[in-house]
Amino acid sequence: MTTRGDQILDRALSKVGGKGLFVKELEVAMAEGRADLAVHSLKDVPMDLPDGFELAAVLEREDPRDAFVSNDYASLAELPPGSVVGTSSLRRQSLIAARYPQLVIKPLRGNLDTRLGKLDRGDYAAIILAAAGLKRLGEGARIRSLLEPEHSLPAAGQGAMAIEIMGSRAGAAGLRAALAPLNHRATALAVAAERKVSKVFGGSCQIPLAAYATVDGASMRLRAMVATPDGTRMASAELTGPADAPEELGQQVSDLLDKQDANAILATCRAEADAASDV
């Protein structure tokens, strides 16, 4: 199925309705009985699902990191001042702007082939994409370098895929049981913590927000960040806690961000987004 998010390619997601544009048509298909389940990139799934819908399984995570793709340069640090970098993410934009203010960051939309085509035509000196998408679609060789979480903290759910069902439909219990073996517990716990942070701050395409958790046995480490798109204001926090209480850890990290004026930073982001949409 082709969604609105796939069709609108001339405007930034933050200006046309956000990541939910990739999900809505699939939920309508399930509600109408045309589909039994939907498979999503989890970072595109809104924090609050419509009544009656649920995530029945979260698959094992692929590489959650951001990838640097270029035909001429090996890393962001090698790009000459004024080089144009393409990204569809305000999160990536803010993190790049904070570390490399000499670079020019421009929006990049379209499916993977379209984005790589724009790079190959010379529209950009480099583009930043999710490593998971490149690897899943057989384009891992295009990755020149990977951006470690210390420098480019991933988005909530990045690299993970989820299966959504309509739990209120007849037969949902059997479908839920059939999908249960696909659920990867460590990934599900990690993304639950990440999505809690995003939910607290109203995470969407309009705000640069990152949240990334890793599970080591019974322990979970959660890192999160919010920033302005230009990277000049940023709040970050990190905590370690029990892996079996992901939402509690997400709330604790959110509280730490709040003490660093995260809500004021995000209010600035939303005001700028609203002003841009009125132009």
**Catalytic residue set:** 44
SS (H, E, C) the chain: CCCHHHHCCCCCHHHCCCHHHHCHHHHHHHHCCCCCCEEEEHHHCCCCCCCCEEEEEECCCCCCCEEEECCCCCCHHHCCCCCEEEECCHHHHHHHHHHCCCCEEEECCCCHHHHHHHHHCCCCCEEEEEHHHHHHCCCHHHEEEEECCCCCCCCCCCCCEEEEEECCCCCHHHHHHHHHHHCCHHHHHHHHHHHHHHHHCCCCCCCCEEEEEEEECCEEEEEEEEECCCCCCEEEEEEEEECCCHHHHHHHHHHHHHCCCHHHHHHHHHHHHHHHHHC
Take residue 60 and report the two structure tokens written for it. 């094992």
Find residue 146's DSSP bridge partners.
67
